[in-house]
């Protein structure tokens, strides 16, 4: 098969895999008539370099995917937080893996370490993860990781930064549908976590800790084991991930101390509970269940209050400012690496726009938002005495 026909077939397959029509893609790329794209896919018209680059971006692929398909490795699998099928998932999967690959490339271009620090991954025992004392075992694991990562008394405040800077886990924030809260994966780019940028900050913190558990236990469970549910419709491993996240984000000693400060006459108000949740930057619901597990609140009372929905409404009203905060974009470290690569001349302005998923014309304003001026010379160095 001729080279242009191979590319043509790949382009058609990628479009159809995403469920996109010729008209939809033609509109995205800027073709006046969809017949132009149809001719490219049939091999009747040569594709231009800029067209291939733009189509690769639309399909969430690197351009090498089409130019050298024989060198393509098996695609990394994503462990979704919600296993239910969703028509947006294939597109999100492509974008997530695309940015993971770009992340790795930026590290390579800048000569920075692109391997995760393996000393931060403790050796576990699968039998202990599945026996009847598994919740206690996971509680200990969470405490061990808190000490290992030195996250302090308020883990959520520095978790993202520590995982990216210290552990080497790539964290990507994308705007997802409500039915997709995130996921995790391991590939030739290392370990990575996908988080829904549309979620409230405390929900993102919880999902990040939840997915960290899956990366910690990545080699211990098969996908089938992770998604398997028991007779009550519950999934054991997902429950363990929730226990890990809860203990990890709400350290026992610190939480007990804050709880005691808020108790008056053996009672604690909704307002004080929300303040504690805000202090640890977690949802009030996560806080309540953690307090139940520590025998500080009664399970029946908490369950009843949550079913009423009053405390959730109370939580939302008090945290209005937090709800309306700016959504994270991709990854602070990723963007910092891309800006550094641009300033050092490792990538062009056009390539930078591709890396940060912005139009070429948007680059100046994007750089300004992060405190940089494209006309400024950042290569000045100082001699050290």
Which SS3 state, helix, strand or coil, does residue 370 take? coil
Where does the pLDDT of residue 191 fall: very low under 50, low under 70, confident under 90, or very high at 90 and above?
Answer: very high
- Whether 3-72 and 94-249 share one fold: the answer is no
Calpha distance 193→203 (Å, rounded): 14
| Spatial CA neighbour of 202 closest among 260, 147, 167, 154 | 154
What is the per-residue pLDDT for 64?
A: 79
| Spatial CA neighbour of 246 closest among 141, 121, 327 | 141
Whether the per-residue pLDDT at 245 is higher than 90: the answer is: yes
pTM (two decimals): 0.85
What is the per-residue pLDDT for 10?
A: 87
What is the per-residue pLDDT for 53?
A: 85
Domain map of the chain by residue range?
3-72, 94-249, 252-323
In the chain, % helix, strand, coil (3-state, to 5) comes to 60, 5, 35
Helix-helix angle 284-293:236-249, to 10 degrees: 100
Which range, of 4-18, 69-83, 251-265, averages the lowest pLDDT? 69-83
What is the per-residue pLDDT for 317?
A: 75
What is the per-residue pLDDT for 231?
A: 72
What is the per-residue pLDDT for 140?
A: 95
What is the per-residue pLDDT for 177?
A: 82
With a pLDDT cut of 70, the percent of the chain lying above it is 93
Identify any residues that bridge with 78 across adjacent strands, giving them in sequence order.
185
The pair phi, psi for residue 233, each rounded to 5°, is 80, 15
Once rounded to an integer, what is the mean pLDDT over residues 51-68? Answer: 83
pLDDT digits 0-9 by tens, 359-384 = 899 999 999 998 888 777 766 677 77
The CATH code for residues 94-249 is 1.10.10.2910
Query: What are 266's two structure tokens?
Result: 């053996």
User: What is the residue-averaged pLDDT of the chain?
Assistant: 87
Which positions ≥6 away from 58 have C-beta within 8 Å?
Answer: 25, 28, 29
Q: CATH class for domain 3-72? A: mainly alpha
| Spatial CA neighbour of 52 closest among 61, 345, 44, 274 | 61
What is the per-residue pLDDT for 67?
A: 80
Whether the per-residue pLDDT at 292 is higher than 80: the answer is: yes
pLDDT digits 0-9 by tens, 104-156 = 999 999 998 766 677 788 889 999 998 889 999 999 999 999 999 999 899 99
What is the per-residue pLDDT for 72?
A: 62
Which range, of 77-86, 215-224, 320-329, averages the lowest pLDDT? 320-329
What is the per-residue pLDDT for 56?
A: 86
What is the per-residue pLDDT for 362?
A: 94
Whether the per-residue pLDDT at 2 is higher than 70: the answer is: no
Once rounded to an integer, what is the mean pLDDT over residues 309-325? Answer: 71
Calpha distance 147→157 (Å, rounded): 15
Q: Which residue has the higher pLDDT, 82 or 157?
A: 157
Judge contact between 189 and 103, C-beta under 8 A.
Answer: yes
């Amino acid at each position: 098969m001729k080279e242009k026909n191979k590319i043509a077939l790949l382009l058609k397959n990628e479009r159809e895999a995403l469920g996109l029509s010729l008209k939809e893609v033609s509109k995205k790329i800027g073709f006046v008539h969809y017949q132009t794209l149809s001719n490219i896919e049939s091999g009747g018209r040569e594709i231009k370099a800029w067209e291939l680059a733009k189509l690769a971006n639309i399909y969430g692929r690197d351009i090498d995917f089409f130019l050298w398909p024989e060198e393509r490795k098996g695609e990394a699998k994503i462990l979704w937080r919600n296993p239910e099928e969703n028509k947006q998932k294939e597109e999100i999967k492509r974008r997530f893996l695309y940015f993971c690959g770009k992340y790795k490339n930026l590290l390579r271009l800048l000569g920075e370490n692109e391997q995760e620090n393996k000393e931060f991954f403790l050796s576990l025992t699968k039998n202990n993860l599945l026996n009847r004392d598994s919740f206690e075992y996971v509680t200990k694991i969470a405490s061990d990781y808190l000490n290992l990562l030195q996250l302090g008394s308020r883990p959520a405040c520095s978790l993202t930064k520590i995982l990216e800077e210290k552990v080497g886990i790539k964290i990507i924030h994308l705007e997802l549908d409500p039915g997709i809260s995130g996921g995790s994966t391991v590939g030739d780019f290392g370990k990575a976590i996908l988080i829904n940028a549309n979620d409230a900050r405390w929900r993102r913190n919880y999902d990040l800790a939840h997915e960290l558990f899956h990366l910690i236990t990545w080699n211990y469970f098969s996908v089938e084991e992770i998604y398997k549910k028991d007779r009550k419709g519950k999934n054991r491993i997902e429950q363990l991930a929730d226990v890990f996240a809860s203990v990890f984000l709400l350290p026992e000693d610190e939480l007990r101390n804050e709880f005691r400060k808020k108790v008056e006459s053996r009672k604690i108000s909704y307002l004080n509970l929300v303040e504690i949740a805000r202090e640890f930057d977690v949802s009030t619901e996560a806080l309540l269940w953690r307090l139940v597990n520590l025998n500080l609140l009664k399970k029946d009372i908490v369950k009843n209050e949550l079913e009423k929905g009053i405390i959730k409404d109370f939580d939302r009203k008090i945290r209005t400012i937090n709800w309306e905060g700016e959504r994270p974009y991709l990854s602070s470290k990723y963007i910092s690496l891309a800006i550094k690569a641009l300033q050092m001349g490792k990538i062009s302005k056009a390539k930078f726009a591709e890396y940060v998923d912005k139009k070429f014309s948007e680059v100046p304003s994007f750089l300004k938002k992060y405190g940089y001026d494209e006309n400024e010379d950042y290569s000045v160095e100082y001699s050290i005495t």
